[in-house]
Structure 1
Amino acid sequence: MNRLLASYIDRVLKKGSLELIDAKGRLHRFGDGTGETVRVRIKSSSAELAVFLNPELKLGEAFMDGDFVVEQGTIYDFLAVVLQNIGSGGRSFVAQAIYQARVATRRFRQWNTPFRARRNVAHHYDLDGRLYSLFLDPDQQYSCAYFETADASLEEAQVAKKRHLAAKLALGPGQKVLDIGSGWGGLGLYLAEHADIDVTGVTLSEEQHKVSNARATERGLSDRTRFLLKDYRHLATRFDRIVSVGMFEHVGVGHYREFFEQVRNLLTDDGVMVLHSIGRFDMPGETNSWIHKYIFPGGYIPALSEVLPEIERAGLKVTDIEILRLHYAETLREWRLRFMARRAEALKLYDERFCLMWEFYLAASETAFRYQDMMNFQIQFVRDQHALPMTRDYIWQAEEALRRRDNAGQRPSLKIAGE
């Protein structure tokens, strides 16, 4: 086994039980023997070296290519035992040097012009719609759910997320609402069904654009709910309320000022926006290189220290910040278990390498939120501080009213195209 790799694992992995079979068939044991044993095999010496030099990229690639095989447990179990030991740091000296070089050059990879942004979105969101129906809730919510109780189902938690956001928007009759990055339309339709408002959603995904408008027609809401295949930067209409969920991660750090200045231009003088995004607890960094290459090209998860200054520079005023800890870990757990339960169906849509890629993506994402300082934040901001009540009571009151309405029963969601 590569001596540098063995030395590194032995140094960082102090708890748990990991067995590794190297390219020559030799068994190596790491950890203190506690917990369930995870056994993995690396099939080639070249894979051993590659994983040591650049684990953030090469581990996922080795798993996809069959050079890294989990023989006892799952890839989630392996990542969990490793990341519980090293947390968000613990890189080898070579891996740290590669990471710092990526941080220094990150603006180039996150240079998301309208053309590049649409291409990046198509890479992930214009996959066969049947893939997402394998693991998402029926409303196709592809963002962090809000688990109000420990025993809440994924479906209940996704409704709670929409309810929580709606309450923070302080909706009123006749308002015009913009949803930036509207996905398959679930949030926009929820808002339109629960309030006397007019909703416009924008997306860069052709698949999402088609499905969301079909859903609006099916629910009889197309007269006051529309979804546009359009970049938010190309809008000129002003809105009373703006919401964005799971889109800010695709903006890129070099475009934050552009984003918030455009939001300011689109908000009415007494307008309110709620921004829901993945964030990081630690300092600014860079996107995991495997995630960037295979899952979300051009994406970046920001630290609050990168976001708040740009909100201030745009002349906007932050009125509320909430940190959602571990909610995305639980969301991803549900997605991972559902995907694995229906993996055979995914294999009919794509090939084995694709299925391994998605298995790794969901497992790596979940463990990142459990052990690597990832979280979600919701920031509410305004142009005029008089736009909202002085206390937060209006949020709880609106949320409770929406909860009573939700519990009374909702219309069934239209299934995704092709399902």
Structure 2
Amino acid sequence: MERLLESALQGVLQRVVVKGALEVTTASGRTLHVGSAPPGPAPVAVRITCPAAERGIILDPELKLGEAYMDGTLVVERGSIADFLDLVMSQPCAVNPTAPAKLFYLLRRVSRRVVQFNPRGRSQRNVAHHYDIDGRLYSLFLDHDRQYSCAYFEHEGQSLDDAQLAKKRHIAAKLVLDRKDMSVLDIGSGWGGLGLYLAEQAGAKVSGVTLSKEQLALARTRAAERGLSERVSFELRDYRDVEGPFDRIVSVGMFEHVGVDHFGAFFRKARSLLKEDGVMLLHAIGRSDPPGVTNPFIARYIFPGGYIPALSEVLPQIEKAGLVVTDIELLRLHYAETLKAWRQRFLARWEEAVRLTDERFCRMWEFYLAASEMGFRHQGLNVFQIQLARRQEAVPLTRAYLEMAEERLRKAEAAARTPLRLAGE
């Protein structure tokens, strides 16, 4: 039986790994060599510690590979889990699964609308699963403003904090905040960083809504500490229950939690909340490939109810809602670099993370960050920013306004910084 299992595992590995090389030690102690080792460092080496993990990886690798690493039955002996996933997910056959894996995919495709059905109560439970955990965990790897979405790297080598600031500036520019005291609805306001930025630097009046109690508490505290409670309000509220109208709407990293059956309702609600000359900016993860399913490991352990849509699923719903698409930008590899920075920061503070949670949780989180990064590098994930309006005249005719707006915001940021002073001054 062991020989049959090892033979099946080797067949799968040989089919997948055609570039680079991999060493896999099976539960019986036999080492399998697949691929061809190029000149340079020794290939990535992993060990599977039990037959059950081997069977799971053969039959349903999208789910069982992550579970094996999380449970410690897949051990990386040379390299890191990121190196392993970089190797495997960059292969030409990585998107051409085996027959059992195809069956699991088809079953998930059939059931995806049930899994992504997100009425109000279920949406809040799904959000709580990921966001209402010990907030100190996020402080270990996010930037100082706790931006938990794709950063915007303006140049190579830019720090995560500066790239996240650039993201907020880029979004603010696209919102065309050309008057003071414009009303802005922030759908999925998180820890409040974007809303506070729009109030401080662009002079907006912001209403933020979230379904996370932990995020809400911190966002309100931050607004009070910065004396912005009268300009920025945060509420525990589903976007479907918000009343308008607003000059502007922004939503960053929330649309992935809406669910494919709710896309139409989302955009119809957005249109009803926008004033006639209103503008909306939607920032969300998308896929370059046709519609698919959520990775089962991510769906079970990280973002239940979540889904990364294709533009072909999103644009028709925008059209049906009566909104006009005025600009689309794909950020592509920006999220891969963001996730790399998060992963490196998380690993640097591993011991603190273990004290807050446990080893199994930390391995799960490391796998999530590494697999997500490689998804953006190799498997067609990207981030789209879609600018929307009720009337096409609401947005300037050319993109020149973006550069000018970002320059104004840079000056506002510089003016808002408190200068350093020596003691006694």
- Report if TM-score (shorter chain) is over 0.5: yes
Residue equivalent to 1:147 = 153
The letter for the 2-side match of 1:348 is R
TM-score by length of 2: 0.95
Which residue pairs with 2:217 in the alignment? 210
Equivalent residues in 2 for 1:164-243 (5 A)?
164-171=170-177, 172-243=179-250
Partners of 1:179 and 1:113 in 2: how far apart? 20
**Alignment CA distance shift 1:153-1:92 (3 Å):** same
Name the Cα RMSD after superposition: 1.3
Equivalent in the alignment of 1:29: 33
Amino acid at match of 1:145: A
How has the CA–CA distance of structure 1 residues 184 and 87 changed in structure 2, closer, same or farther, with 3 Å as cutoff?
farther
Cα distance in 1, alignment partners of residues 63 and 406 from structure 2: 42
Q: How big is the shift at 1:408?
A: 4.8
CA-CA distance at 1:44 after TM superposition: 1.3
1:326-357 CA-partner distances (Å, limit 9, x unpaired): 00000000000000000100111111111111
8 Å Cα contact 1:51/1:59 also seen in 2: yes
Shift of 1:405: 2.9
CA drift of 1:5 comes to 2.1
User: Aligned-pair distance for 1:4?
Assistant: 2.0
Q: 2:165 is matched with which residue: 148, 159, 162?
A: 159
- Residue in 1 aligned with 2:406? 399
Q: Give how far 1:13 is off.
A: 0.7
Normalised TM-score (structure 1) = 0.96
The amino acid of 2:138's aligned partner reads Y
Match of 2:17 among 13, 18, 32: 13
Residue in structure 2 matching 1:42, options 45, 48, 51: 48
Shift of 1:174: 2.2
Contiguous gaps of at least 5 residues in structure 1: 413-419
1:367-418 alpha-carbon deviations (Å, 9 max, x no partner) = 1111111000000010011112211111111012212333456469xxxxxx
Q: Is the 8 A contact 2:172 2:202 kept in 1?
A: no
Does structure 2 retain, via aligned residues, the 8 Å contact 1:169–1:241? yes
Distance in 2 between the 1:136 and 1:292 partners?
22
- From the superposition, tell whether residues 302 and 76 of structure 1 become closer, same or farther in structure 2 (CA, over 3 Å): same
Instruction: Give the whole-Å Cα distance in 1 for the aligned partners of 2:118 and 2:308.
Output: 14
Rounded Cα–Cα distance in structure 1 between residues aligned with 2:232 and 2:30 = 62
* Secondary structure at 2:90 match in 1: helix
> In the alignment, residue 139 of structure 1 is paired with which amino acid?
D
1:98 matched to which residue of 2? 104
In structure 2, do the counterparts of structure 1 residues 407 and 2 end up closer, same or farther at CA, with 3 Å as the change threshold?
A: farther
Which structure 2 residues correspond to residues 238-387 of structure 1 after superposition, within 5 A?
238-387=245-394
Q: 1:150 to 1:56 in 2, by over 3 A?
A: same
| 1:2 and 1:49 in contact (8 A); partners too | no
| Pairwise CA distance, 1:321 | 0.1
Equivalent pair of 1:87/1:371 in contact (CA under 8 Å)? no
Alignment partners' CA distance in 1, 2:249 and 2:100: 44
Aligned length: 412
Q: Which runs of 5+ in 2 are unaligned?
A: 420-425
The answer as to whether partners of 1:64 and 1:356 remain within 8 angstroms in 2 is yes
Q: 1 CA distance for matches of 2:206 and 2:94? A: 40
CA distance in 2, matches of 1:33, 1:155: 38
Structure 2 partner of 1:62: 68
- Residue 90 of structure 1: how far off its partner (Å): 2.2
Regions of 4+ moved over 4 Å: none
Structure 2 counterpart of 1:270, which letter?
D
2:294 alignment partner AA: T
CA deviations over 1:204-246 (Å, ceiling 9, x no partner): 0000000001000011110110110000000112100000000
